[in-house]
Amino acid sequence: MKLAVIEGDGVGKEVIPAALEVLDAFELDVEKVPLELGYDRWERTGTAITDDDIDILKECDCVIFGAVTTPPDPNYKSVLLTIRKELDMYANVRPIRPLPSVKGIHDRTDFNYIIVRENTEGLYSGIEEIGEDVSTTKRVITRKGSKRIADYASKLAGSRTNKLTIVHKSNVMKSDKLFLDVCRQSATDAGVTHSDELVDSFAYNLIRNPWNYDVIVTTNLFGDILSDMSGALVGGLGLLPSANIGEKYAFFEPVHGSAPDIAGRNIANPLATVLSLKMLLEWHGDIAEAAILEEAIDSSLNLGICTPDLGGKSSTSEVGEFLANHIKTRVK
Ligand code: NAD
Ligand code: IPM
Ligand code: MN
């Protein structure tokens, strides 16, 4: 496997080394291609990402990514959005699942749902006019873009409980009527049981009754917001992994950002990134390794070896080291 490794900024520089220690413990045949991208590089060199970087990424099989700082500066080209678009990774898959010994806001832990977020259009079209008194962002919903994410979500639902929830705001934004219609058709064609909810009341229902959902498909910004909100259900943002998937490329990253409020202290929770690594292993077909990794994570949490966000006393690197040592005893 040729794996591009992007630490990025802030806690990205801490959680990626921990995840790599975990990966190295498997002694898989992995060629790592480190790339320095993001805000720190922009400050130093004036570019956060270039076409050459995209070419390098396209030559890799997949990517593991930490986090980047994205300033609201019109001259700054967002690394993440550029990569998602250039590599056409249209599906942002965000599983929400409680881990052992970690409580979120509910006592019940019998939920397990996946947000499938459209990743290339919607309010992230990048088509903007910024003026002194009026600024606009164009929300783009296409039939093609909606169909491919709907088909992805329907297929995923078919492999689970065959239940799909379509989340939209078509009462206000008619662009979402197209999204809704295409999703309904896709689910019907796939033989998947489906329903739809308006995003505002859906957010209320999801946080109150997460066990009522399985696969959720939605547009770009709604998926962004609903996934961070879901962090409250599993015990924090430091626990949410994600995969960005396209026809050709795959890119794995924690849902969280560069966390400047805790960066540089070796206390960021590496599990969101380690769980993203687990998604990478599964995607690559390394199913046995993924299972061992899951077991290592469960063991660390059951022993209370975790970072302060989960009430523990361990550092980022200590969690990585524990997981790596556990894996070494299992793969030898
Ligand atoms: P954030 O996700 O970085 O942090 C939100 C809160 O969660 C903070 O209190 C932080 O300390 C906590 N947190 C995040 N990751 C954690 C971890 N691994 N362990 C423990 N606590 C963790 O969101 P923000 O503060 O709104 O954004 C900071 C920067 O990150 C911004 O520039 C934003 O644009 C960028 N961002 C990048 C990504 C990405 O690279 N994928 C995602 C979201 C935000
Ligand atoms: C995420 C992040 C990104 C997004 C930002 C950093 C561009 O919040 O991956 O959830 O909005 O998609
Ligand atoms: Mn986000």
List, in order, residues 6 or more apart from 134 with CB less than 8 Å away. Answer: none
User: Is 80 exceeded by the pLDDT of residue 332?
Assistant: no
Nearest atom in ligand 1 to the alpha carbon of residue 260 is: 28
Decide if 74 contacts 130 (C-beta within 8 A). yes
Same domain as 229, residue 116: yes
pTM of structure: 0.98
For ligand 1, say whether the CB of 261 is within 6 Å of any of its atoms.
yes
List, in order, residues 6 or more apart from 152 with CB less than 8 Å away. Answer: 90, 91, 116, 245
Same domain as 96, residue 240: yes
Which of 199, 234, 269 represents a domain boundary (last residue)? 234
Averaged pLDDT for residues 282-298 = 98
Cα 210 to averaged position of ligand 3 atoms, centre (Å): 19
Q: Which residue in 13, 85, 163, 169 is the catalytic one? A: 169
Same domain as 159, residue 13: no
Sheet holding 62-67, edge to edge: 31-35, 2-8, 62-67, 250-254, 241-245, 91-96, 113-118, 215-218, 163-168, 193-198
Same domain as 249, residue 215: no
Same domain as 212, residue 145: yes
Same domain as 264, residue 210: no
298 is catalytic: no
CA-proximal residue: ligand 1, atom 36 (nearest): 257
For ligand 1, say whether the CB of 259 is within 6 Å of any of its atoms.
yes
How many structural domains is the chain composed of? 2
Counting ligand 1 atoms within 8 A of each CB, the residue from 256, 274, 309 with the most, and so the one to mutate, is 256
29 is catalytic: no
313 is catalytic: no
Cα 75 to averaged position of ligand 2 atoms, centre (Å): 18
Same domain as 255, residue 219: no
- For residue 198, the SS3 value is strand
For ligand 2, say whether the CB of 81 is within 6 Å of any of its atoms.
yes
The CA-based angle 64-299-208, given to 5 degrees, is 75
Same domain as 260, residue 199: no
Length of the chain, in residues? 332
- Environment of ion ligand 3 (residues, CB < 5 A): 224
Same domain as 86, residue 10: yes
For ligand 1, say whether the CB of 262 is within 6 Å of any of its atoms.
yes
Task: Give the domain range for residue 156.
Answer: 111-234
Same domain as 240, residue 230: no
CATH of the domain at 253: 3.40.718.10
Q: State ipTM.
A: 0.99
Q: Which residue in 39, 113, 124, 152 is the catalytic one? A: 124
What does pLDDT average to over the chain? 97
pLDDT band at 73 (very low <50, low <70, confident <90, very high): confident
Same domain as 191, residue 300: no
Same domain as 225, residue 138: yes
pLDDT band at 75 (very low <50, low <70, confident <90, very high): confident
Which of 217, 234, 251 represents a domain boundary (last residue)? 234
State pLDDT tens for residues 229-280: 999 999 999 999 999 999 999 999 999 999 999 999 999 999 999 999 999 9
